[in-house]
Amino acid sequence: MTFNLAKLIRPNIQELKPYSSARDEFSGDAKVFLDANENSLGSPLHKWYNRYPDPHQVAIKQKLSAIKGIAPEHIFLGNGSDECIDLLYRSFCNPGKDNVIICPPTYGMYEVSANVNDVALRKVPLLRNYQLNLLDIEAAIDENTKLIWICSPNNPTGNSLHRIDIETILTNFKGIVVVDEAYINFSKQKSFVQELVEYPNLVVLQTFSKAWGLAGLRLGMAFASTEIIAVLNKVKPPYNINQSTQELVLKALDDLGQVNDMIRLLVDMREALAEVFRSMPTVAEVYPSDANFLLVKIDNARKVYEFLLSKGIVLRDRSNVQLCDNCLRITVGSEQDNTMLIDAMQDWYQLNA
């Protein structure tokens, strides 16, 4: 099916003239900056924090380019993946007219952002095995369907969605398919980042919040065709990634070894934690996970959640989420965290045996 990006962009975005700073309008090294009305005397925090950050995050994109094996022009950086999600709505979905498809249970911000942007939401639940329902997705698509959101590995279920199903949607849908890979580093599945040339309608989201351990810095990544990236750059605020985030992420990108070590350790602890849960008599099922968390079906999940909360242990109760009855989503913690959790759950069992 032929993909025509121009037909998807909102007309007002097509005509939009983005904000342009003086630093967008020159190249090379400058010695004196008198263009942005900054405080030229400095800052109480750092001599450079009085200056606006690089609006294009060039240094980070260059390092990411080498790591991901794609050109910097295919990379967009957002203030968390949530900004990337919001910009996709604002760029391609006409409020009150267009619609998008999500496949619950899935990440909640797809729905929140749709509601904020007044975009109709069409929900096509996953099958009982937490895989995509291709027939119902096809039936839900109409001429105003602009985006399909696919989270793989999925949150809150933890499983990876079948690659062939995602490829089927990419091949047959004339809109944009967003594959959210926030947890891809914990999975053996291959990322879709290398498929951008084959699928011009593909957007891949990743994040520094999970495997990189940088949730506090709020930096999300979007990978797409240069044409889609150009639209996102057109719509974003000029300085959406702050200076301290850029500096700290640049340092983190030099330490891939530590990140890979953390990933291996978390995956090992995930498997060990799953085995312990499976041995507990109150646990009905521990679902397979390719993420840094487990979805656990447990008797009286809400009461277990409240008991653990009384012990100062915070989980995520997903019992009210479609297809997740009596389920708790449990992040893999540190060794100490996991031990405290297991001890507390054993206390619960003994009190309610």
Q: Please tell me the predicted confidence (pLDDT) of residue 22.
A: 67
Domain boundary among 229, 254, 279: 254
- The answer on 285 and 247 residing in a single domain is no
pLDDT of residue 269: 98
Give the start-end residues of each E strand in 47-182: 75-78, 99-102, 120-123, 145-151, 176-180
Quote the CA–CA distance of 122 and 216 in Å, as a whole number.
32
- Domain co-membership, 42 together with 105: yes
Region class of 118: left (phi > 0), else alpha (psi between -120 and 50), else beta: left
- Same domain, residue pair 60 and 169: yes
Compute mean pLDDT per 10 residues along the chain, 353 residues long, and list them.
Answer: 90 91 72 87 84 94 97 98 98 98 98 98 98 98 98 98 98 98 97 97 98 97 98 96 96 96 98 97 96 97 97 97 97 98 94 84
280 and 211 share one domain: no
Indicate whether 334 and 199 sit together in one domain: no
**335-352 vs 256-278: helix axis angle to the nearest 10?**
10
On whether both 220 and 320 belong to a single domain, the answer is: no
Sheet of 327-331, strands arranged across? 283-286, 293-298, 327-331, 316-317
Q: Are residues 275 and 193 in the same domain?
A: no
Q: How far apart are CA 201 and CA 229, in angstroms?
A: 12
Q: Concatenated DSSP letters for 127-143?
A: PTTS---HHHHHHH--T
CATH number at residue 333: 3.90.1150.10
Domain boundary among 225, 254, 283: 254
Whole-number Å distance between alpha carbons of 328 and 318:
5
- Containing domain of residue 276, as a range? 257-352
Q: How many domains does the chain have?
A: 2
Query: What is the identity of the amino acid at 74?
Result: H
| 241 shares a domain with 129 | yes
CATH number of the domain at 50, please: 3.40.640.10
Which of 199, 224, 254 represents a domain boundary (last residue)? 254
pLDDT value of position 42: 87
Domain check: are 304 and 207 in the same one?
Answer: no
How far apart (Å, rounded) are the C-alpha atoms in residues 271 and 307?
24
**What pLDDT score was predicted for residue 20?**
80
**Residues 111, 48 share a domain:** yes
Whether 199 and 329 share a structural domain? no
First to last CA, the chain: 59
pTM: 0.96
* Type of residue at 181: E
Q: What pLDDT shows up at residue 254?
A: 96
Same domain, 158 and 280: no
